[in-house]
A and B are shown apart, each in its own frame.
Chain A
Amino acid sequence: MEVKSLGEDIYEIVCGTSHYREVNSKVKELVLKGAKKVILREVYGQRYIGTGIKGKVKIEVYGTAGNDLGIFLFGPEIEVFGNAQDGVGNTMKEGKIIVRGHAGDVCGYGMRGGKVYIEGDVGYRVGIHMKGYKDLVPTFIVGGKAGNFFGEYMAGGILILLGLTKRAGEDIVGDYCATGMHGGVIFVRGEVPSRYLGKEVKVFEPDLEDMKILTKELKGFSDAFNIPLDEILSEPFTKIVPVSTRPYGRLYAHRWAVARGLIK
């Protein structure tokens, strides 16, 4: 591991195959010293990059970011020039993650705030258990396609799937999309085959209010990757929302309690 100072408040770390603990503690140390920007070069799967740092700092990652990139993220902006692996933005609260490549499985798990933009495809179980509270509304935007279990058990926030890498005959999303969803909203550019959708959701055409939100959120994505907003919005979107806030509320309920009206 090699650390260099590139002028005022900018540092560069050449990671190689150093252990993630060394890399991450060095980043933390530099941020405490007042670094505004840390550039990580030759990253080979170091995990948990960006975690445990509070405040506005920019982290640039060159190489392949390891699992749980930006887990519990609380402020920093991370930009990956390359691909990311599993668990991007796991339980993040604040900040921004931009991945100029694809990302793996279980991204955005339990995310509760901030923004994640993935340029390419994502794997399975992306956006599961996303949640929102009052003004904490997480946004996760995927430029490519997604695998199975997209938005499973989603409880809040905005999940957007664009399918810009989709070729003819390919599905934009996999099976069990939005299964058990009970909050938040999913926007998909194009159509989702109905056999892939969970029973707990309904599909709508976005109304004017939705289009306002969509345009606002997609502006950030369009700026990040330099893709014209008109081009992204050139195709109709599908809006997926849950039919109930408690889809399994009665699953294990006693029929006596249901009959008495104690459980609705």
Chain B
Amino acid sequence: MNSYSEMSGCGLAGIVNREGKPIPGKYIYDSITSMKERGNGMGAGYAAYGIYPDMKEFYAFHIMLDEIDRESEVNGVLNRFFKIVKGEVIPTREVPSLYKKTKPPVFYRFFVEPKREAKLPTESEEDLVVRAVMTINEKVKGAYVISSGKNMGAFKGVGHPDEIGDFFEIKEYEGYIWLAHTRFPTNTPGWWGGAHPFTLLDWAIVHNGEITSYGTNKRYVEMYGYRCTLLTDTEVAAYIFDLLFRKHRLPIRAVFTAMASPFWKDIEHYKESGLDKVYEMAKTIRTVYSSAMLNGPFAMLFAFKDGIIGFNDRIKLRPFVAAEKGEVVYMASEESAIRVVCPHPDKVWMPKAGEPVIALLNYCDSENVCYPA
């Protein structure tokens, strides 16, 4: 197929097997590639969970380097924080059509173990990892951490989803959770680091739309030591999620009530219909976390080691469809992208605005999961 495209908007897809069984990369590849029309070839990416079963106790750092010479600098920073168990170039395949757009950077992966002596007095292990990510992104010129979780990884770049999928040999991997994205950049540059997913620790996020409250959200997370360096609005959502879920230990439903909170008039309606407790909760969250609210049109998928959560802005300005077949849950921008890999789902539905679709692994006994799940 030719590489023409039309103004459309990004596309996203996610698959989770709730029993934790591996799903071949081919499924997500076919699903996102069927929505090629939604992107313009200026960004695509994948996130996969369960791809490094032999190295699952180590943090897997996927790092993008403008030049291979930066590797020694990155190595130096990592050595300050971690014991490096293994470091290697991420295998890639020749995709000539990619090179017409940009020169691909070099991708490295490091499996690392935090050094106890590197921890600051009040710091947890995760805080140390986050600090290492921020240090590399901010201080090492031409190096960007693409993912930093355990037993997971992100693969992304400038191209169509099939080009990027072939480049990183996505079909060779098997994971129990997959996210994918095809990008149509509008307000921010199309560069390898700006493609989705955005990740931190084991959170990954893909996003269609724009966060018009970016300035407010950025200032808010910066107060807590996060650094927004990737020139796009989406990364801030990953940091807010980390702050609310991991640091503030909010239950998962509360996190999404904060990020896509109901309108004040709807909060008032809870009270009028006798839901006093819900009213109090919603009002408190809306007040305390007003700077964490994401405004603007968007549909997003969040993934972490225990599942996928999909949600929309408050008035549904971007498409979002979900489906279920046995233990597998699918989410995508278009129903056809689900049907292409699962022709006869048990259930297909169009979720309501602001209402998260929470698809967690079966061992999570309740939907009100708190960190650590």
Bound form: Cα–Cα A85–B35 in Å: 13
Chain B min CB distance to A244 (Å): 23
Bound form: Cα–Cα A67–B9 in Å: 13
Q: Mark B295-317, 1 if CB is under 8 A from A, else 0.
A: 00000000000000000000110
Tell me which residues from 314 to 339 in chain B have a Cβ below 8 Å from any Cβ of chain A: 315-316, 319, 321, 334-337, 339
Contacts of B37 in A (CB 8 A): 20, 47
Main secondary structure of the interface of B (DSSP, over half): loop
Contacts of A175 in B (CB 8 A): 266
| Cβ contact of A45, chosen from B34, B350, B352, cutoff 8 A | B34
Bound form: Cα–Cα A67–B333 in Å: 11
Task: Indicate the member of A20, A104, A149 with the most B CB atoms within 10 Å.
Answer: A104
Chain A min CB distance to B264 (Å): 13
- CB <8 Å contact, B334 and A66: yes
| Cβ contact of A17, chosen from B34, B319, B335, B352, cutoff 8 A | B34
A149's nearest neighbour on chain B, judged by CB, is B315
Bound form: Cα–Cα A5–B339 in Å: 27
| Cβ contact of A64, chosen from B269, B316, B335, B352, cutoff 8 A | B335
Q: Is B353 an interface residue (CB 8 A)?
A: yes
Contacts of B35 in A (CB 8 A): 45
Q: Is A138 an interface residue (CB 8 A)?
A: no
Given contacts A102-B350, A124-B353, A147-B352, whether A45 and B319 have CB atoms under 8 Å apart is no
Contacts of B319 in A (CB 8 A): 85-86, 104-105
Chain A min CB distance to B163 (Å): 16
Main secondary structure of the interface of A (DSSP, over half): loop
Q: Is A63 an interface residue (CB 8 A)?
A: yes
Contacts of B334 in A (CB 8 A): 45, 66-67, 85
Tell me which residues from 117 to 135 in chain B have a Cβ below 8 Å from any Cβ of chain A: none
Contacts of B288 in A (CB 8 A): none
Contacts of A85 in B (CB 8 A): 319, 334-336
- CB <8 Å contact, B350 and A17: no
- CB <8 Å contact, A63 and B339: yes
Tell me which residues from 34 to 79 in chain A have a Cβ below 8 Å from any Cβ of chain B: 43-45, 47, 63-64, 66-67
| Cβ contact of B315, chosen from A45, A66, A102, A148, cutoff 8 A | A148
Tell me which residues from 218 to 270 in chain B have a Cβ below 8 Å from any Cβ of chain A: 266, 269
Bound form: Cα–Cα A44–B35 in Å: 10
Bound form: Cα–Cα A93–B319 in Å: 25
Q: Is B106 an interface residue (CB 8 A)?
A: no
Bound form: Cα–Cα A212–B125 in Å: 72
B332's nearest neighbour on chain A, judged by CB, is A45
Q: Is B7 an interface residue (CB 8 A)?
A: no
Contacts of A4 in B (CB 8 A): none
- Please provide the 10 A-B residue pairs with the shortest distance between their CB atoms, ordered closest to farther: A45-B336, A64-B336, A124-B316, A44-B336, A44-B340, A64-B339, A123-B350, A64-B335, A45-B334, A19-B1
Question: Can you list 27 A-B pairs, Cβ within 8 angstroms, ordered by A?
Answer: A17-B340, A19-B1, A20-B37, A43-B336, A45-B35, A45-B334, A45-B335, A45-B336, A45-B340, A64-B336, A64-B339, A66-B334, A66-B336, A83-B335, A85-B334, A85-B336, A102-B348, A104-B321, A104-B335, A123-B316, A124-B353, A147-B350, A147-B352, A147-B353, A148-B316, A148-B353, A174-B352
- Given A45-B34, A85-B334, A102-B348, list of 11 further CB < 8 A pairs? A17-B34, A44-B336, A45-B334, A45-B340, A63-B336, A63-B339, A64-B335, A64-B336, A104-B350, A105-B316, A147-B352
